């Protein structure tokens, strides 16, 4: 299987010929340093007054130039050593940087009154538009580009389409200028968040990686979970949830932690496809886990105009339920198949590990305190956390090794390479959002989906979920959310659902594309590491991640799961849903204290499904369904409780 894009970007510096890698490293480092400077408000400190759009277009120019220099036009050669760089790539890089610098300098003049600078705006915007489209093709491929091109073409010709999809006419020069210079398009919220907050958090993740933080998370997970049956799978779940929240990509999370956890699971008795599936599901869930959620939380807060802390609280219970289902199934599958703990001689001591690397947790404390206590901007809070991680890494180190200053510079460089595809994605997503706004297509899509669903709210949700999975294929977390929040979330809001529930719903189903065949990048990447069949691994991942397909349908009707409502109702709904998740997970595993008969599995899954109905949002009969499910579930458990178990939860090696 081919390498994933994130892996390719990460390895560009190593694969470049010596005469090019210096240029690559300078460009990549500049992207990160500009984001750090902006987060620390250094331009204002030296008396340089800029609007954020000027900064981000300037920084974007370095990213676009680096794309043309480091990513070949032939995507099959991406990741290979570039012995020479074609003249057309050099020219494209120079033009990219030049046009972005020009737009940055002239932005306030031409954006405030495009009509009097239309030719200038059109010339600069048309060049940048074409370059960005090609940059996206080189970094991400045709998945998102195909969608974007459809929308851009619609922007020019939508007024010629009869019927429901008829769009407003916009003069071509004005349309091109709008797509690049308007705050609802390229220079809008997605690029602002991508070039500031996302860069800062990916830098934080890179610092953790280079200081040994990633290894610490894995080691402490092994120490805490390795002694239990199926300990290797539980290690993967814990380690991936810890690192996945800050990694910004489910695929990069798989690559970072899977190289350790997948071999451990294979040695512990898990099959290749099951090992890959567990790692893929655990890594994908990291993007749903507060406080960072792969940086999507910050963009969501901006989109729905709500405090970041509210988004974090809203995401907490669904994420815990997700991991509860994965953890239960991993444990019961271990009992059913006889998966052993990690041998004692391969497990680090928890106390020694914590003493050696516990200082890494201080950076997360700093992050949370800066965000929630001192109300610092997210990008600045991430830099504070990165600074603490770097200092403690240099002073204390980990596993007998201290971080050298050169590794901090490597983190700066690697961050620049890591954000290339993300910046291209949010840039093109800005074009899509711009077309939706200027043509009226966004309003039309909402009406079409509502009409298609008719009077059935459930059908609307199923259609929305399906579109979310399809459109999310092949994109990292932020790109998934940016696209779906513009295309689909407004439809759910128009149908009467809350802003928070609607945006969380589309985030979940966009991310499910990572584990849902036929294009399940996280599952396929994990399968590659496990030497397993990709499609079988994908379907196994769907079984482990089943709760993520169901829980969004629950919280969109029962906002108590999003921490909205009275404390008593929130607690009751959480316990009820948690018990339902436990029942269905037991049924999915086919094991309780012994192998379950088919009728028992069916009964316990039915019981869990009955308990999943949120009585607070349903007609009065839902209470009776809940009670029936509770009774059925307890009855099946009681009938199977006295059977001989698969052994104690904790086993010796």
Instruction: Please tell me the predicted confidence (pLDDT) of residue 405.
Output: 84
Peptide bond into 518 cis (omega under 30): yes
Question: Under a CB-based contact definition with an 8 Å cutoff, are residues 216 and 393 in contact?
Answer: no
Q: CA-based Rg of the chain, rounded to a whole angstrom?
A: 25
Q: How many CA atoms lie within 13 A of 289 on its CB side?
A: 25
Instruction: Please tell me the predicted confidence (pLDDT) of residue 644.
Output: 57
Quick one: which of 511, 584, 594, 495 has its CA closest to 543? 584
Strand partners, 595: 591
Question: Under a CB-based contact definition with an 8 Å cutoff, are residues 248 and 198 in contact?
Answer: yes
Instruction: Please tell me the predicted confidence (pLDDT) of residue 77.
Output: 64
Distance CA 49, CA 72 (A): 37
Alpha-carbon dihedral sign for residues 61, 64, 66, 69: negative
Quick one: which of 493, 555, 499 has its CA closest to 300? 499
Instruction: Please tell me the predicted confidence (pLDDT) of residue 131.
Output: 97
Q: What is the pTM of this model?
A: 0.79
Distance CA 124, CA 61 (A): 13
Q: What does the DSSP assignment read for 38-64? A: HHTTHHHHTT----HHHHHHHHHHHHH
Peptide bond into 291 cis (omega under 30): yes
Question: Under a CB-based contact definition with an 8 Å cutoff, are residues 300 and 278 in contact?
Answer: no
* Cα 514 versus chain centre, distance: 9
Distances (CA, A) of 484 to 406, 510, 511: 40, 7, 11
Quick one: which of 590, 624, 591, 587 has its CA closest to 606? 587
Instruction: Please tell me the predicted confidence (pLDDT) of residue 435.
Output: 92
Question: Under a CB-based contact definition with an 8 Å cutoff, are residues 276 and 347 in contact?
Answer: no
Dihedral, CA atoms, 258, 262, 265, 270, nearest 10 degrees? 130
Instruction: Please tell me the predicted confidence (pLDDT) of residue 78.
Output: 59
Residue 495, number of CB atoms within 10 A of its CB: 17
Distance CA 604, CA 397 (A): 49
Residue 326 makes CB contacts below 8 A (sequence gap 6+) with 237, 278, 281, 282, 285, 544, 545, 547
Distance CA 356, CA 375 (A): 31
Q: What DSSP state is assigned to residue 195? A: I
Q: Dihedrals φ, ψ of 373, to 5°?
A: -95, -50
Distance CA 249, CA 245 (A): 9
Instruction: Please tell me the predicted confidence (pLDDT) of residue 549.
Output: 94
pLDDT averaged per 10 residues in sequence order, the chain, 653 residues: 44 52 92 95 88 94 96 73 84 97 93 83 96 92 83 93 88 94 89 86 87 83 82 81 67 77 83 91 86 75 86 91 92 83 82 88 89 85 92 87 85 92 87 90 82 83 88 70 85 90 92 84 87 90 93 92 90 93 93 88 94 82 91 91 52 36
302-336 burial code (b ≥16 CB/10 A, e <16): bbbeeebebbbebbbbbbbbbbbbbbbbbbbbbbb
Helix/strand number for the chain, H first, E second: 33, 0
Angle, CA of 223, 225 and 230, to the nearest 5°: 135
Instruction: Please tell me the predicted confidence (pLDDT) of residue 123.
Output: 95
73-102 burial code (b ≥16 CB/10 A, e <16): eebeebbeebeebeeebeebbebbbebbeb
Question: Under a CB-based contact definition with an 8 Å cutoff, are residues 248 and 415 in contact?
Answer: no
Residue 527, number of CB atoms within 10 A of its CB: 29
Distance CA 70, CA 235 (A): 36
* Cα 28 versus chain centre, distance: 22
SS3 for 432-485 is HHHHHHHHCHHHHHHHHHHHHHCCCHHHHHHHHHHHHHHHCCCCCHHHHHHHHH
């Amino acid at each position: 299987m081919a390498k994933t894009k994130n892996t390719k970007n990460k390895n560009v510096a190593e694969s470049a010929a010596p005469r090019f890698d210096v240029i690559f490293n300078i460009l990549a480092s500049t992207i990160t340093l500009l984001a750090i400077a902006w987060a620390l408000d250094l331009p204002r400190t030296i008396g340089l007054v800029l609007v954020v759009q000027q900064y981000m277009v300037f920084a974007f120019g370095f990213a676009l130039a680096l794309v043309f220099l480091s990513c070949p036009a032939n995507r099959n050669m991406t990741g290979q050593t570039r012995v020479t760089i074609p003249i057309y790539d050099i020219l494209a890089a120079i033009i990219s940087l030049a046009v972005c610098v020009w737009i940055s300098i002239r932005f306030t003049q031409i954006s405030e009154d495009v009509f009097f600078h239309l030719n200038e705006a059109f010339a600069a915007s048309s060049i940048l538009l074409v370059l960005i489209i090609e940059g996206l093709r080189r970094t991400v491929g045709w998945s998102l580009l195909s969608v974007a091109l459809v929308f851009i073409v619609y922007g020019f010709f939508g007024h010629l389409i009869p019927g429901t999809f008829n769009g407003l006419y916009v003069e071509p020069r004005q349309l091109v200028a709008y797509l690049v210079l308007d705050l609802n398009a390229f220079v809008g919220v997605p690029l602002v968040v991508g070039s500031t907050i996302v860069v800062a958090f990916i830098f934080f993740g890179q610092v953790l990686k280079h200081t040994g933080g990633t290894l610490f998370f894995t080691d402490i997970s092994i120490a805490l979970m390795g002694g239990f049956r199926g300990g290797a799978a539980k290690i993967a779940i814990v380690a991936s949830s810890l690192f996945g929240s800050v990694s910004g990509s489910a695929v990069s999370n798989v690559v970072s932690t899977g190289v350790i956890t997948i071999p451990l699971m294979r040695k512990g008795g898990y099959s290749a496809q099951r090992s890959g599936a567990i790692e893929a599901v655990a890594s994908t869930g990291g993007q749903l886990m507060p406080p960072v959620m792969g940086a999507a939380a910050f963009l969501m807060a901006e989109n729905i105009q709500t405090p970041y802390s509210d988004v974090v609280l809203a995401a907490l219970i669904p994420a815990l339920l997700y991991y509860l289902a994965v953890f239960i199934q991993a444990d019961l599958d271990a009992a059913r198949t006889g998966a052993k703990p990690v041998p004692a001689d391969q497990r680090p001591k928890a106390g020694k590990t914590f003493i050696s690397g516990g200082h890494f947790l201080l950076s997360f404390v700093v992050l949370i305190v800066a965000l929630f206590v001192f109300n610092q901007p997210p990008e600045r809070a991430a830099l504070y956390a990165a600074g603490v991680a770097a200092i403690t890494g240099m002073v204390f180190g980990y596993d007998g090794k201290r971080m050298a200053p050169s590794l901090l510079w490597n983190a700066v460089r690697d961050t620049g390479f890591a954000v290339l595809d993300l910046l291209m994605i949010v840039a093109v997503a800005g074009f899509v959002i711009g077309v939706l706004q200027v043509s009226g297509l966004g309003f039309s899509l909402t009406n079409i989906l509502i009409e298609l669903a008719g009077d059935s709210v459930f059908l609307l949700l199923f259609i929305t979920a399906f579109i979310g999975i399809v459109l999310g294929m092949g994109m990292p977390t932020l790109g998934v959310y940016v696209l779906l929040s513009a295309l689909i979330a407004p439809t759910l809001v128009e149908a009467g659902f809350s802003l928070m529930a609607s945006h969380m719903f589309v985030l979940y189903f966009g991310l499910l594309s990572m584990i849902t065949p036929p294009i399940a990048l996280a599952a396929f990447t994990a399968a590659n590491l496990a030497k397993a069949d990709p499609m079988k691994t994908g379907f196994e991942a769907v079984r482990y991640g089943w709760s993520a397909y169901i829980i969004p349908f629950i919280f969109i009707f029962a906002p108590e799961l999003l921490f909205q409502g009275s404390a008593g109702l929130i607690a009751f709904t959480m316990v009820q849903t948690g018990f339902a998740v436990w029942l269905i997970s037991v049924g999915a595993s086919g094991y309780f204290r012994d192998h379950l008969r088919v009728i028992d599995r069916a009964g316990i899954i039915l019981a869990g499904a009955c308990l999943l109905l949120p009585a607070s949002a349903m007609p009065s009969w839902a209470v009776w369904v809940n009670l029936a499910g509770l009774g059925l579930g307890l009855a099946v458990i009681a009938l199977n409780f006295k059977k001989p178990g698969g052994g104690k939860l904790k086993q010796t090696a």
